[in-house]
Structure 1
Amino acid sequence: MNKIAYTAFIAFLATILTLLSASALSQSSDEARDDEALDAITWDELAEHDGAESCWKAIYGRVYDVTDFIPVHPTEEEVMLEWCGRDATEGWENKRPGVPHSPRAESRLESLLVGRLVGEDGQPVMRDDAADMGAEVIDADRALSPAEDERLHRAMLGMPLDGHYRGVFTDRGVIQVNITFDLRDGRFDSVDYRHLAYRGVDYLALEEGDEGYPVRVQYEQVAERLEGEPVTRIFALYEPERMVDDVDGYSGATLRGAKVISAIRDGLNRGVYSWP
């Protein structure tokens, strides 16, 4: 009798597992069909929507237009804007370190779906693969002991770690400066602006001859002249005429050096964005 009951129990489990597998396969198939019906969006097209006026994000290979949601999102605006125009899977899975967004947020997100992300070959970026795009690369340093790990030493002493940083300066909820830079042995490398604007003027879009173009030149000079300098060099920007040339009658004072300082310090406060 026991043998019969055991056999029946095993058969029951096998049936349940079969049904669950079939359900999972069906759901996966349905998602694939749904993705095929979505508009294909390339990385370049995604990158065009990188600001408050139009903010698209890719999460697990799907693209969402979150522009209208930014003003009502519970965090500060710059937190949302940081992910505009790129893959935001890492941010989605880390609402707080190690804590993903809730099912309720996921439901809201689906209403903002506008397309699927495709690569250069036109093939969809797989949703499972996209989850790893922002993942931190694990290297040999992580196996070092506390006595050997230089990163740990620098962090404990309050010294900035080598790596890639991103920082912003905002005023009244509007991003004016968004800067990226690397630190190598505590010195600047690859300093660049992702966003540079004031009172509706996008300085990065200005061309020679446009009003305000000389100011863009000055900001670019700051980026160039920080290259190879120690991180403490940012404080020279409190007297910007020491860092930039007088261009077409624009004095060094035209440059708002404190904004660049604030953006860089914001990046340092946020910590390493990605490891080299």
Structure 2
Amino acid sequence: MNDTPTIVLIVVVGVLVAVGVVLLLERSLTRVLLGVVLMGNGINLMILSTGGAAGGPPLLGLTDEAEMSDPLPQAMILTAIVITLGITAFLLAMAHRSWQLQGHDEVQDDAEDRRILLGGSRAELRAQIRELRARLRREIREQRTDLHRRIEEEDRREEAERAELRARLAEADTELRDWIRENRGDDGVGDDDIARRVRDVRREREKRVEELRGQVEAYRTELRDHVRADREAEREQRRELRRRIRAEKRQLRARIRAERERLARAEDSDLLGAD
């Protein structure tokens, strides 16, 4: 006789166990009960298939030992049936009590687990807020450092322009004195020519000074624009951080409020059931 289980029996065992596991993962106690029953039957079939071919009853004096069936799988199946029956009765009682108290048989989340979860959410929110603030502080420090660097560069550039202006003015004065000294004794150069040359040099000097002042003023205006833009960006980042923090706090408060209301309803149901 063939002791190997058939493919049909293996498929039936797999289907029963798979459906039972899926039903066990549901929140409804009725589905959990059906899952326990189906999975128990599937496991019983699997144990039965390991007992080999069918034979006579395992009783000494009634059946020959060579023709006896294996009694161990049968004993294990009987024990499993008793255990499954006890679990079924327990789940039926729980489902009936849940229906009386709450009007449904769904398994709710544990209150302590929810408190721990909310505590973790608060800690996570605080960590996110600290991270956002630290990042904002880093960005502000970087912007301030860059701003100070720009101001120092503009100061150095302005000082260089002033030094160049002073050098050019000194050079122009030197050229003017040399020209006056060289041409004062010539017959072709009079006081009018010298005065005109002095006026020309002064006009050129004033023109150059005005150009340099315009450049300095343009640099200062650009620097003020950069400073204003950086400050506006910093204020916008602070406002965005405050908005995000307020939004996170509102969401957390809403979750805490909903959880408290759910716990209050559960406690009221328990009190009504106890009465």
TM-score range, shorter chain: under 0.3
Structure richer in strand, relative to its length: 1
TM-score w.r.t. the length of structure 1 is 0.18
Structure exhibiting the larger radius of gyration computed from Cα positions: 2
Structure richer in helix, relative to its length: 2
Say which structure, 1 or 2, has more relative contact order (CA 8 Å, 6+ apart).
Answer: 2
